[in-house]
Amino acid sequence: MTKEKYNSDLLRSDETSKHLKFLKLEVPFVLKSGETIEDLLVAYETYGTLNSNKSNAVLVCHAISGDSHVAKHSKDDLPGWWDIMVGPKKPIDTDQYFVICPNVLGGCKGSTGPNSLNPKTGKPYGPEFPQITVEDMVAAQNVLIEHLGIDSLLCITGGSMGGFQSIQWAKQYPEKVKSVAGMATSARLTNQALAFDIVGRNAIKKDPRFKLGNYYDSNEKPEDGLAIARMLAHITYLSKESMKEKFDQKRFEPKEDPAEFEKQFSVGSYLAYQGTKFVDRFDANSYIILSTAIDYFDLGKNIKELKANLKKTSCEWLFVSFSSDWLYPPFQSEELVDALVELDKPVSYCCIDSEAGHDAFLLENEVGQYGSITSSFLKKISGSLEEQKAKKSTLTSTNIFFDNRLDLNFISGLVSKGDRVLDLGCEDGTLLRELRKKSCSKLLGIEIDPKKVIDSFETGIEIINSDINIGLNRFNNDQFDVTILSQTLQSIKNVEKTIQQILRISKKAIISFPNFAFKPLREMLFHQGKAPKLEGLYGYNWYNTPNRRFPTIADFEEFCNEQNILVKESFFIDTENKEFIKEDPNLNADTAIFVLSKN
Amino acid sequence: MTKEKYNSDLLRSDETSKHLKFLKLEVPFVLKSGETIEDLLVAYETYGTLNSNKSNAVLVCHAISGDSHVAKHSKDDLPGWWDIMVGPKKPIDTDQYFVICPNVLGGCKGSTGPNSLNPKTGKPYGPEFPQITVEDMVAAQNVLIEHLGIDSLLCITGGSMGGFQSIQWAKQYPEKVKSVAGMATSARLTNQALAFDIVGRNAIKKDPRFKLGNYYDSNEKPEDGLAIARMLAHITYLSKESMKEKFDQKRFEPKEDPAEFEKQFSVGSYLAYQGTKFVDRFDANSYIILSTAIDYFDLGKNIKELKANLKKTSCEWLFVSFSSDWLYPPFQSEELVDALVELDKPVSYCCIDSEAGHDAFLLENEVGQYGSITSSFLKKISGSLEEQKAKKSTLTSTNIFFDNRLDLNFISGLVSKGDRVLDLGCEDGTLLRELRKKSCSKLLGIEIDPKKVIDSFETGIEIINSDINIGLNRFNNDQFDVTILSQTLQSIKNVEKTIQQILRISKKAIISFPNFAFKPLREMLFHQGKAPKLEGLYGYNWYNTPNRRFPTIADFEEFCNEQNILVKESFFIDTENKEFIKEDPNLNADTAIFVLSKN
């Protein structure tokens, strides 16, 4: 298969193109708009080996400025844009998986785009290239997947616009997608991000050398406009924090720079460099086509619309966001999570603490975290996770269970086969892993600490990184059979609302907490006049305890009574002596377990 | 005095210009760079009447796109850009104050700028106009102030670039500035804001009709570039939240719009409208000159540099920031506050909770808050605040003092004449107002709730809106004689660090708290087995108390001992029976007051 003249203009080098493959579609490719593209060309690279039952294919979708060269093919190869993620023993391990990375339709790195020859005219499409959509990008990728004879993709992953494609895949070809791992992405742009795109496109279109897109015959290209668009976009990829780090100390010391854009400020010379570099490797028409496709991508402005669009998906989901990403802010990933949770689809989520902004998903600093999550997720989906490889428990002292088989077995005993179980404040998922033995139909954890979430992933737990004080709205009425709030009550901000929510979303609640009226605690305050302190959960001093609630069994019973909550069962334990307490538990038990339901 | 031909090009209308006055400087105006401007013209408007001792002058400085028409002069006048703030009975009350608003040097609304005639050539300056600085802007305003015979300005205020000028005034002419009220401003731009300016200027400069700034003779002006710069800047004036509100529901329904910039998205047509409107009223060279001046404004990249720059100022300071302002984010105002606090300058600060972004300081929604603060501040500076006009106390139940004269008098009694006093968690400043009677040399409050801060302002309290858990670093060693932590200990996150900080920054600490070992509380837990609950500070249920610490007198004494803190005095009170407790206070007192110092 030969490369087209115009496509190859912007390809990187001979080294890269050795591995670049092309698929040419012999029949017209019909776009969503009804328009057709003749002689569709899909440029792509592959890594690793497709296994015999073709079940190990991972499709990587690139962002607006990316291409098919996701990683090096050999030591001497040119760098790929995601070398930190893709390769032998990397998170997307090419010893295990067959990785496919196509250049996107409408791009300028091999696949058909505005700078390709239009077979009808023999000239580059230019402004005649039809406005494609993310749906069309995915349809073109599907042509490739069919050509490769793959019926089902193990995973589709990508960040930013690559995330858009990944999500769209699950919507468009639900039967072909086993899982999606979307990074730094969303269901649509924010209006702010959309506005930046619009300004960037205007900068290109107003460049007189743009000539309404007919610049291919000219010696001059709309380089100024494209560079301005890129400079602007580049600001949105960084964060305030990363820019401070990069430029604050030497603000007035611009780098020597061939570009004439800026010679006063260091941040300016950096942006000018980025802009100028981009012009050399990217086509302005392609930038307009792709950024417009991004701007029109829209799975819904609210949960209702999102649900309608995601309803027919049947894959397992993972979303990763980055705390300082203001272009695709975490709340947008959370909207996707909310919609999928309401649809009762399997979804995991982690918001990684990072100062690197949107670019974080491409950077080495954070790959220890998002790489680990992706690796665990792929292993889980492919069934290669060693279930009991789980790290040694990293339980903190806010969880006293499981040092004590009594408690563990006891909570387990309250859960039945087939139950849908939600564990609030699940830490690294120890309880959920225990519950796997029960053949529950759903096991989901909620945990606020991203580090514990990452640990959980390693054991294949389905988990959502969220604050239980605000994150329970997303669940439907009676979505679970059992919700567990194990030794977490004492650190909850809004107890009333949280318990109301628990009883809304599940038929049964299991709530355990340390009893503040346990005899030694009472005696300490009464006789010694000191704030009660014991081992374990009450092992803190008054001035450094993370606990903010000090309930007694009597208080909790009164609370349930006042709130019209039915106490179905209650169990009281002396954990030190490993025995159940029947007599005056409010005095003699250090731990209470209540099983509640709506009245 | 006549208007120059080129200056009047962009003036608004005959109605406005009736009130527009011009001052022409007959000697060369020397810039910081050493260059000179001949025939300097300062356009300005005034409101209200200068009193006989010329002590009621308020200088309002406008932002980059503003002008001298800050407000209507009469009902039928054209709208001003800050009508909500300036006028009779408005926060900057023109019945009380003489308001002066000059057009900025380098602008295009009457004062000398790039579109003015250069007397040396008889043509507009264009690109020959020297790059001025904020220092030069202020020097030009000073020419006007001298002309008006004013030795001292009661207040200088403005937002954004207007804030830069206000701060620069205090640095440049410390003897002439009684106070500064800076809004949505900072000591320098963030690198992110700087980067946006650079991209905007490039869009103008790359417009072929810009012709290196020599476009005045041409029929065409660099309208596309200027519109793009304005569109970009406009995005930064809004917030994600306000854009969502404005555009999310009808994203794909652009307004009918004469501009050709954007016809696909509602946010685009809005920006296109803003861009096109701006081009009609603003000069591109002026935009470049002013935005570059902003970019070079730099009072320091860290507290040390800031302190050096602000050291000689002698005014009273107020800063107001807005929570969603990401162009001049609140942390930048806080850096200014930190530097001034370290310099022991009088400074008040409030971060207003707002979704309107940077533009908030111009909007009606928030004027109830920043207008009230400004009004109170001006009254305080001018000495017209009715000291005891203070609202009825809005004390919440987390403060039990002052229902009880015993406590009030008692705390007062521990403070001496001349003391420098800091009150942490001062709520609406009730205690500080009491302490005014003691002729303290400094009274400063810290309060986390902006609403209470605004209430405090009304009584003329000097107050900083801040979280005491993180906001004590800014104070110097021994900056205060007394720091008071009154009934706040129980809600503090990091008790150890906070008390260490208090003893670092003040010679003496007065710490009062409710005693958790008070007999009825002990008995309740011991006999009833229920989480202790009483009146007042302990009047909450276990599940909704805002308290997170439950210290007893014995605990606190032990804590002081362990931390090597000297308890100079301690007092124990039964507030119900209004008596001091000598015998077994840990059992019999409901309230403890400790006076601490470093050992």
DSSP B223: H
Rounded to whole angstroms, how far apart are CA atoms A362 and A427?
Answer: 28
User: In this structure, are residues A367 and A354 in contact, taking their beta carbons and an 8 Å threshold?
Assistant: no
Report which of B539, B546, B518 is spatially closest to residue A549, judged by C-alpha positions. Answer: B546
Say if A114 falls within a structural domain.
Answer: yes
Within-domain flag for A448:
yes
Closest partner CB to A522 (pick from B232, B251, B525): B525
Task: Provide, as residue numbers in chain A, all residues whose Cβ is less than 8 Å from the Cβ of B208.
Answer: 208
Which pair of tokens denotes residue B467?
């979280």
Last residue of a domain, one of A335, A369, A385: A385
Of all helices (H) and strands (E), which one includes residue B159?
strand B155-159
Neighbours of B365 (CB within 10 A): 12
| Record: contact B531-A544, CB cut-off 8 A | no
Query: Which residue numbers of A are catalytic?
Result: 160, 325, 358
Helix, strand, coil proportions of chain A in percent (round to 5)?
A: 40, 20, 45
Please list every residue in chain A whose beta carbon sits closer than 8 Å to the beta carbon of residue B262: 198, 202
Tell me A527's DSSP state: I
> Tell me, what amino acid is at A47?
Y
Residue B477 sits at φ, ψ, to 5 deg, of: -60, 135
pLDDT at B41: 97
Distance of CA B599 to the CA centre of its chain: 38
Q: Are B328 and B185 spatial neighbours (Cβ–Cβ below 8 Å)?
A: yes
- Cβ neighbours, 10 Å, residue B382: 17
> Which candidate in B338, B358, B466, B512 is catalytic?
B358
Residue type, A336: L
- DSSP letter assigned to residue B177: B
pLDDT tens string A448-472: 999 999 999 988 889 999 999 888 9
Query: Are residues B317 and B267 part of one domain?
Result: no
Confirm if A209 and A222 have CB atoms less than 8 A apart. Answer: yes
Token duo for residue B440: 């303290």
- The catalytically annotated residue of B65, B111, B116, B160 is B160
Q: Looking at residue B12, what is its pLDDT?
A: 45
Judge contact between B106 and B129, C-beta under 8 A: yes
Contact B235 A558 (CB under 8 A): no
Please say whether the beta carbons of A183 and B254 come within 8 A. no
Element (H, E) at B288: helix B284-296
Task: Answer whether residue A138 is part of any domain.
Answer: no
Is B190 part of the contact surface with chain A (CB cutoff 8 Å)? yes
- The encoded tokens of residue B326 equal 């990401």
So what's the pLDDT on residue B386? 66
Q: What are phi and psi of B297, to 5 degrees?
A: -65, 130
Tell whether the model's pLDDT for residue A216 goes beyond 60: yes
pLDDT at B417: 92
β A41-47/A92-93 pair status: unpaired
- Chain A residues within an 8 Å CB radius of B534: none
Quote the pLDDT of residue B169. Answer: 98
> CA A114 to CA A221: how far, in whole Å?
14
Asked if B202 is an interface residue toward chain A (Cβ–Cβ < 8 A), one would say yes
Structure tokens at A80: 């790929």
Q: How far is CA A23 from CA A35, A143, B50, B326, in A?
A: 20, 9, 81, 46
Q: How confident is the model at residue A393 (pLDDT cuts 50, 70, 90)?
A: very low
CATH at B240:
1.10.1740.110
- Please give the single-letter amino acid code of residue A452: K
DSSP 8-state class, residue B68: S
Where would I find the H helices in A154-283? 161-172, 191-205, 223-237, 240-247, 266-281
CATH of the domain at B568: 3.40.50.150
Contact B552 A544 (CB under 8 A): no
Q: What gap in Å lies between CA B250 and CA B246, rounded to an integer?
A: 9
- Token pair 């992110």: residue: B192
CA distance B164 to B182: 8
How many C-beta atoms surround the C-beta of residue B556 within 10 A? 27
Contact indicator for B349, B464 with CB cutoff of 8 Å: yes
**Residue numbers in B near A225 (CB within 8 A):** 206
Question: Number of C-alpha atoms within 13 angstroms, CB side, residue B552?
Answer: 26
Give the residue with greater pLDDT, B434 vs B257: B434
Please give the structure tokens belonging to residue B524: 């309740």
Question: What is the tens place of the pLDDT at every residue in A41-89?
Answer: 999 999 999 999 999 999 999 999 999 999 999 999 999 999 999 999 9
CA distance A426 to chain B (A): 21
A556 and A441 within one domain: yes
Instruction: Say whether both B235 and B334 belong to one domain.
Output: no
Amino acid at A432: L
User: What is the pLDDT, as a whole number, of residue A7?
Assistant: 39
Domain assignment present for residue B287? The answer is no
Contact B206 A224 (CB under 8 A): yes
The alpha carbon of residue B25 is apart from the nearest alpha carbon of chain A, in Å, by: 32
Interface pTM, i.e. ipTM: 0.92
In angstroms, the CA B482 to CA B477 distance is 12
Residues B399 and B502 occupy one common structural domain: yes
Q: Band of the pLDDT at B212, cuts 50, 70, 90?
A: very high
Specify if A92 maps to a domain.
no
pLDDT digits (tens, 9 = 90+) for A243-301: 999 998 888 888 876 677 778 899 999 999 999 999 999 999 999 999 999 999 999 99
| Residue where the block lists tokens 């900068």 | A203
Looking at the predicted structure, is the pLDDT value of residue B488 above 90? no
Q: Look up the CATH number of the domain holding residue A356.
A: 3.40.50.1820
Of the candidates A54, A136, A56, the residue with the CA atom closest to the CA atom of residue A94: A56
Q: Do residues B306 and B319 lie in contact, with contact meaning Cβ atoms separated by under 8 Å?
A: no
In a domain, B388, yes or no: no
B144 strand-pairing partners:
none
B102 and B128 fall within a common domain = yes
Exposed/middle/buried for B209, CB within 10 Å: 0-12, 13-18, 19+?
middle
The terminus-to-terminus CA distance of chain B in angstroms comes to: 70
Smallest CA–CA separation between A444 and chain B, in Å? 26
Instruction: Read off the pLDDT of residues B82-125 as tens digits, 9 standing for 90 and up.
Output: 999 999 999 999 999 999 999 999 999 999 999 999 999 999 99
For residue B160, indicate whether it is catalytic: yes
Nearest CA in chain B to A267: B195
Whether the per-residue pLDDT at A199 is higher than 60: the answer is yes
What band does A537 get if pLDDT is binned at 50, 70 and 90? low
Query: Is residue A354 within 8 Å of residue A450, measured between CB atoms?
Result: no
Subunit contact A243:B203, Cβ cutoff 8 A: no
Reported as type and span, the H/E element at residue B423 is strand B420-424
Give residue for tokens 């009281």: A572
Q: Which residues of A touch B295 (CB under 8 A)?
A: 264-265
Asked if the Cβ–Cβ distance from A196 to B265 is below 8 Å, we say no
- Interatomic CA distance for residues B493 and B476, integer angstroms: 22
Number of domains, chain B = 3
Residue window 213-252, chain A: list those with CB within 8 Å of chain B.
224-225, 228, 231-232, 235, 238, 240, 243-244, 246-249, 251
Token pair belonging to A262: 């800026």
Closest CA relative to residue A92, chosen from A179, A32, A150, A29: A179
Place of tokens 């001025």: B132
Burial class (CB in 10 A: 0-12, 13-18, 19+), B154: buried
DSSP state of B153: B
**Residue A143 domain-assigned?**
no
Among A228-232, B342-346, B398-402, the range scoring the smallest mean pLDDT is B398-402
Set of chain A residues whose Cβ sits within 8 Å of the Cβ of B207: 206
Enclosing H/E stretch for B141: helix B134-147
Q: Out of B380, B403, B435, pick the residue that ends a domain.
A: B380
Q: Are residues B44 and B28 in the same domain?
A: yes
Same domain assignment for residues A243 and A349: no
The per-residue b/e assignment along A419-454, b for 16 or more CB within 10 angstroms, e otherwise, is bbbbbbbbbbbbbbbbbeebebebbbbbbbebebbb
Measure CB to CB from residue B531 to each of A271, A545, A552 and give the nearest one.
A552
Question: Do residues B175 and B212 share a domain?
Answer: no
Cα–Cα distance, A237 to A286 (Å, whole number): 19
On whether both A269 and A409 belong to a single domain, the answer is no
Instruction: Examine the domain organization and report whether B473 and B341 are in the same domain.
Output: no
- Contact yes or no for B522/A525 (Cβ under 8 A): yes
Chain A partners within 8 Å of B545 (Cβ): 549
Which residues in chain B (300-339) have CB-CB distances under 8 A to chain A?
Answer: 301, 326, 329
Cβ contact, residue pair A196, B298, below 8 Å: no
Residue B298 with chain A: CB contacts under 8 Å: 251
Closest in B244, B496, B545 to A544, CB measured: B496
pTM above 0.95, yes or no: no
- A 473-512 residues with CB < 8 A to B: 494-496
The answer to whether residue A175 scores a pLDDT higher than 90 is: yes
Cβ-based contacts of B190 with chain A (< 8 Å): 240, 243-244
Average pLDDT, chain A: 90
Comparing CA positions, the residue from B164, B144, B116 lying closest to residue B21 is: B144
Q: Is B325 a known active-site residue?
A: yes
B388 at the A interface (CB within 8 A)?
A: no
| Of B436, B386, B389, the residue nearest B415 (C-alpha) | B436
Condensed to tens digits (0 to 9), the pLDDT of residues B360-388 reads: 999 999 999 999 999 999 999 999 886 44
Closest partner residue to A550 (CB to CB) among B244, B249, B542 is B542
Q: Is the pLDDT of residue B288 over 70?
A: yes
Strands (E), A4-154: 21-24, 29-30, 36-37, 41-47, 57-60, 86-87, 92-93, 98-102, 117-118, 123-124
Show which of residues 550-569 on chain B sit within 8 Å of chain A, judged by CB atoms. Answer: 550-555, 558-559
- Taking the Cβ of residue A535 and every Cβ of chain B, the question of whether any pair is shorter than 8 Å is answered with no
Q: Cβ contact (<8 Å) for A267 and B191?
A: yes
DSSP B384-419: ---GGG-PSP---TT--TTSSHHHHHHHHHTS-TT-
Beta bridge partners of A451: none
DSSP H helical segments within B563-597, as ranges? Answer: 585-588
**Residues A419 and A437 sit within 8 Å (Cβ to Cβ):** no
Low-confidence winner among A479-493, A495-509, B159-173, B347-361 (lowest mean pLDDT): A479-493
Please indicate, yes or no, if residue B448 is contained in any of the structural domains. Answer: yes
**How far, in Å, CA of B297 to CA of B217, rounded?**
32
Instruction: Provide the 3-class DSSP secondary structure of residue B328.
Output: coil
- Same structural domain for residues A474 and A512? yes
Helices and strands in chain B: count of H runs, count of E runs: 19, 22
Query: Domain range for residue A209?
Result: 200-293
CB half-sphere exposure, B478, CA atoms < 13 A: 3
Q: Which of A188, A197, A206 is the mutation pick for testing B, counting most B CBs within 10 A?
A: A206
- Nearest Cα neighbor of B60 from B175, B173, B153 is B153
Nearest CA of chain A to the CA of B22: how many Å? 34
Same domain, B213 and B252: yes
Cβ–Cβ of B243/A523 closer than 8 Å? no
Using DSSP's 3-state secondary structure scheme, residue A442 falls into strand
Last residue of a domain, one of A271, A293, A315: A293
